[in-house]
Amino acid sequence: MPQSWQDIVADKKLKQQASIPKEWILKNLPAEDELNIMEFPDACGLLSPKEVEITNTHVGLLLANLARSRWSAVEVTTAFAKRAIIAHQLTNCLTEIFIERALARAAQLDEHIKKTGKVVGALHGLPISLKDQVSIKGIESTMGYVSWIGKSAERNSVLVDALESLGAVLCVKTNIPQTLMWPETFNHVFGRTTNPHNRSLTSGGSSGGEGALVALKGTTIGVGSDIGGSIRIPSACCGTYGFRPSTGRVPYAGCVNSLEGQDSLPSVLGPLSNSIGGIKAFMQGVMSQKTWLRDPSVIRKGWDENAYRLVEHGGGKALCFAILWNDGQVVPHLGNSTGTGNPYGYRPTGRPGTGTDSDLRIHSIPGFNGLLPLAWDVSPEDD
């Protein structure tokens, strides 16, 4: 008698659980009705003081400490792997877990820097997570489909090869909604991912596993994908930075998708991180790899520091942002909107104002007004 889909899923979940080191399984998890668990990883007792320090360090300083061998790649990988497992036990954000592979890779990087005194590349020793659809040789990408369980990738995606050439350490893949293209994260293989700020709410989608994991600092940079918001929605829901690159900037070849061959709605890969520095490090590193030689859909254009610095636009000192809270046809649900006291525009103190058509009813998205000053007032190390 053929195995039922429920039995196939149960076997898959058992294998996933077996991939977690037993000593990292927590006995003191917060009660289900404790909704905000953002502070739990630092206080749960699994992380040493040094691991707490490592996982709370921004990408730029992490890379500097790795390059100076102040912290080894094994130490950094272990710290973030532990925190990723904590995040998973809190929000169900992971799909594939391959920590032994990651630690072996980290040990190779440590050996390299010990022998040569040089880093492998710009992301040397940096733990990076991947959305489930990004293929790694020998590891499954189920995309939430029961019928794809047991089908391991035969080769790396182009992006994985590029990241490993840069010295990145890959150790987990993250949850998605079945088929992608959905603003929450649920499938019948791995279940639902919740928001670490409020576990009664969604982490967003379709890169919702990345949103939750990045928010809980279980990774330095997470790779998501986006057509109409699948990086931006989880970033907004979970309070992280997220960047949807233009089509053809980050290699997509070798990844799985529900719409392969449907080129009228091209998806793109892009980073989520807790700092703008993390976003820049990812984009700058990937573009340095000339991935257009391996993926013909990638534009033959490397990193342009002058464009990043807005040299042709006065260095960005006089930028003006226009914000349209709705288009006059579709507005945020009243239960999800709040008054700003200035319904026709948002004017941060000391910055150029934004004008909107006063005939439109402008609503604000909760939390968004608080995020705008943060985006403008980036600290120097995040530049």
Using DSSP's 3-state secondary structure scheme, residue 9 falls into: helix
Poorest-pLDDT segment among 245-249, 301-305, 366-370: 366-370
Q: Which of 72, 230, 235, 364 is catalytic?
A: 230
pLDDT of 261 reads 76
**267 tagged catalytic:** no
Q: What is the DSSP string of 187-218?
A: ETTTEE-EETTEEEEE--SSSHHHHHHHHTTS
| Global pTM exceeds 0.75 | yes
Which of 186, 155, 159 is CA-nearest to residue 170?
A: 159
* β partners of residue 172: 97
**22 tagged catalytic:** no
Which of 24, 22, 28, 23 is CA-nearest to residue 44?
A: 28
Give the start-to-end residue ranges of the domains of the chain.
5-303, 316-383
Mean pLDDT of 213-229: 97
pLDDT band at 103 (very low <50, low <70, confident <90, very high): very high
pLDDT band at 26 (very low <50, low <70, confident <90, very high): very high
Burial of 334 (0-12, 13-18, 19+ CB in 10 A): exposed
Q: Which of 72, 82, 129, 131 is catalytic?
A: 131
pLDDT band at 333 (very low <50, low <70, confident <90, very high): low
* Cis amide bond preceding 4, omega within 30: no
Phi, psi at 306, each rounded to 5°: -65, -40
The single-letter code of the amino acid at 335 is: G
Q: Name residues whose C-beta falls within 8 Å of residue 202's C-beta, 6 or more positions apart in sequence.
A: 183, 184, 185, 193, 194, 195, 208, 237
Rounded Cα gap, residues 138 and 140, in angstroms: 7
Residue 364 has pLDDT above 80, yes or no: no
**131 tagged catalytic:** yes
pLDDT band at 330 (very low <50, low <70, confident <90, very high): confident
| Number of Cβ atoms within 10 Å of the Cβ of 107 | 14
Residue 359 has pLDDT above 90, yes or no: no
- Per the CB < 8 A criterion, the answer to whether 293 and 228 are in contact is no
Rounded Cα gap, residues 260 and 42, in angstroms: 41
Domain spanning 5-303: CATH 1.10.1280.10 = no
| Number of Cβ atoms within 10 Å of the Cβ of 339 | 8
pLDDT of 323 reads 72
- Per the CB < 8 A criterion, the answer to whether 133 and 257 are in contact is yes
Q: Which of 157, 203, 206, 267 is catalytic?
A: 206
